[in-house]
A and B are shown apart, each in its own frame.
Chain A
Amino acid sequence: MMLTKPLTRKGIQALSRSGEAAVAAPPPASAAAPPFERDLRLDLFRGIALWLIFLDHIPSNVVSLFTIRNYGFSDATEIFVFISGYTAAFVYGRAMRERGLLIAGARMLKRAWQIYVAHIFLFVIYMAEIAYVSKSFENPLYNEEMGIFDFLRQPDVTLVQALLLKFKPANMDVLPLYITLLACFAPFIWLLLRRPTLALAASALVYALNWNFDWNLPSYPEGTWVFNPLAWQLLFGFGAWCALGGARKLDRLINSRVTLGLAVAYLAFAFAIVMTWTFPRYAHYVPRWLSDWMYPIDKTNLDVLRFAHFLALAILTVHFLPKDWPHLKSPLLRPALLCGQHSLEIFCLGVFLAFAAHFVLEEISASIETQVAVSVAGVLIMSAAAGLMSWYKKIESQRPGSRRPPDADLAGGEA
């Protein structure tokens, strides 16, 4: 879908207009519960996104040259956040319909708490590695960079700021975003079940307002959150909206030839632009007016160009990979599916493995062979761990007298 910056506001108006139409319609669409069959594509792409995030998180990894961020505006973060919004709405939307706002809201807070604990656990591992590295770090070439270890000298401030989610080491920005979104998600789901279009319009409005007013949460020691929750909520909310019936509304639009053509054209455009970053000698082919309008393509505030790039990718994926695509059950794709079904655990494991890979590259060898080896090993470990968790869950659920596994797993992975 081709979105342009000035057009977005019009887009929002259009959305709110159709919102009014939906409001006028008798008993909202939520009355007819969306089907709860499992969409394996969600598991598959979340699993792949987790792998890509892991590969991108290993500093200086030659394998990360093959990840999608090098070929277009958006990267695996968009996929992860969208699918997380989708599955969260699936799981908690159902809970809310069956048990009400209070119970579902409490469950979501509990989940946010679990993710918070996981984040702090990762932070402790991170601190252990940093403290170790700092001891053996001495080189006149890096007199300046050594200043980064100063925070180890004041653990009181560092730890408190980390607990407040203000001090976030590099690559540990996604979970705080997820925690914040999930913790504030209940009212949105509530509205989504009643007035889906209105809820989406509200989400877009917050995004647009944020665009004008530049709101963001503060970070420590300075600056703001790397992933601004007020901007990224749009993608999370859009995922949720798709999960609760929105995707079906878009069916015809997604499969129209015009939309597909626009998506392909936009992806080609993004690819050409990104190539001028890798090969700056071609940068002068980008007209001045275009670069003035287009840059910067901001990740922190989920630039419209990034969002549009994700939409274009999603449209093509949905079109060419139907829900009942037979290969979804093939053993080749099973590792990615399994990883996607245990996303929180595998995400955390991925962050840890990226630390470990960095450690290996530092202490043993930074050669390209080692980079490839740690990348492959990491993906294998993630898949094996996910397989183990699935196996354990299955065994547990087969025990006589045990309850069925939580719904979250049936709804295309955990929220």
Chain B
Amino acid sequence: MKKLVVILASLLAAAPVAASNDHDQACAVADNLVTADFGFPHVAAAIAAKKLTIVVIGSSSSALLDPTGTNRGYPARLEAALAAKLPGVAVKVIAYAKPRETAADMEKHFAQMLAADKPALVVWQTGTVEAMLRSDVDDFRAVLDDGINALQQAQADVVLMNQQYSPRTELMTSSALYADAMRFVALQHQIPLFDRQAVMRHWGELGTFDLNQATKKIDTAVRVHDCIGRLLGRLILDAANLPSSPDHAVQ
């Protein structure tokens, strides 16, 4: 429904934007799909203390290396976007993106990561490997539950990020099952979900980015990651500005 509203609105208003090829506006096409539904008190505190450390933990779709070996993935773009919006704050985004890691694999690194980096926010990107393996959805949910509890106990805010929208492989994975599981877990823990799948699907449908092309070139991928980094940055700042939810206040 929301998607429908967004699509209709975009068709009416944003069609020239997509055609104008302006990168900022291309990112903005999906702006309405990214909302900070719950607050980030720890991020707010970290910004006030002028030092914001964010950890991105995910699988290989959280990284993008260009031929020179420079990382053009969204975590680096997130750092740049936040640094630009938060002058005077030392923003650091540390990314752990390992190929073929499931949520359970990632959770094993949490203790070490929390101790080493002391992040105010953890972006947990997962679901892709589970969808490819068709893992048990209940188990996936249980791992997410445990992991989020561990992160919250360590005084970190959490945002979940679901799979990329990948039109060519959509028929092969029941990705919706895992995306649904992530949405439920996020609602249950009252943490935001960055719905990467919906955002990218929207871009694909409107032709903002051609996600269907067979290519070895990296330029579209770079632009997609850049937009995701910026949208995620906007979500984080919005969430930091929200009054914290009653549950957080109790904690």
Contacts and interface: CB of A to CB of B under 8 A. Distances in A.
Given A284-B190, A368-B11, A139 B221 contact: yes
B25 interface: no
A178 interface: no
A279 B195 CA distance: 12
Interface residues of B, number: 66
Interface string A20-62: 0000000000000000000000000000000000000001101
Contacts of A368: 7, 11, 205
Given A62-B4, A368-B11, A144 B59 contact: yes
A332 interface: no
Contact of B168 (A133, A279, A298): A133
B153 interface: no
Contacts of B185: 296
Interface stretch (A91-99, A205-213, A217-225, A229-237): A217-225
A7 interface: no
Most chain A Cβ neighbours within 10 Å, of B99, B188, B211 = B188
B216 A140 contact: yes
Contacts of A278: 1-3
Interface in B118-170: 128-129, 132-139, 141, 164-170
A59 B170 contact: yes
B53 interface: no
Nearest to B100: A147
A145 B166 contact: yes
Interface residues on A, range: 35 or more
Given A141-B220, A148-B173, A297 B133 contact: no
Interface string B161-202: 000111111111111010001011111101011000000010
B245 to A, nearest CB: 6
B124 to A, nearest CB: 16
Interface in A273-322: 275-281, 283-284, 286, 288, 291-292, 295-300
A118 interface: no
Interface string A150-184: 00000000000000000001110000000000000
A366 B4 contact: no
Interface in B53-68: 59-61, 64
A310 to B, nearest CB: 18
B205 A280 contact: no
A142 interface: yes
B187 A283 contact: yes
A65 B6 CA distance: 12
B249 to A, nearest CB: 13
A232 to B, nearest CB: 15
Contacts of B99: 144
B31 interface: no
Nearest to A291: B188
Interface stretch (A192-200, A245-253, A354-362): A354-362
A355 B224 CA distance: 27
A131 to B, nearest CB: 11
A280 B165 contact: no
B17 to A, nearest CB: 16
A355 B212 CA distance: 16
Contacts of A288: 190, 247
Interface string A106-150: 000000000000000000001001100100111111111111110
A284 B167 contact: no
Contacts of A299: 177
A169 B169 CA distance: 11
Contact of B171 (A129, A143, A275, A296): A129
A275 B170 contact: no
Contacts of B171: 59, 126, 129-130, 133, 169-171, 355, 358
B37 A138 contact: no
B112 interface: no
Contacts of B190: 283-284, 288
B177 A226 contact: yes
Given A219-B134, A276-B187, A280-B35, 16 more contacts: A60-B204, A139-B214, A140-B216, A140-B218, A141-B220, A149-B172, A170-B175, A171-B174, A222-B135, A277-B187, A278-B2, A280-B193, A291-B187, A297-B184, A298-B138, A367-B205
29 contacts: A60-B165, A60-B205, A62-B205, A65-B3, A138-B216, A140-B64, A140-B217, A141-B221, A144-B59, A144-B128, A144-B164, A145-B128, A148-B132, A149-B172, A169-B172, A221-B133, A222-B135, A223-B135, A223-B139, A276-B187, A279-B1, A281-B35, A284-B37, A291-B187, A291-B188, A300-B138, A366-B205, A367-B207, A368-B11
Pick the 5 closest A-B CB pairs, nearest first. Answer: A59-B170, A141-B221, A144-B60, A280-B37, A145-B166
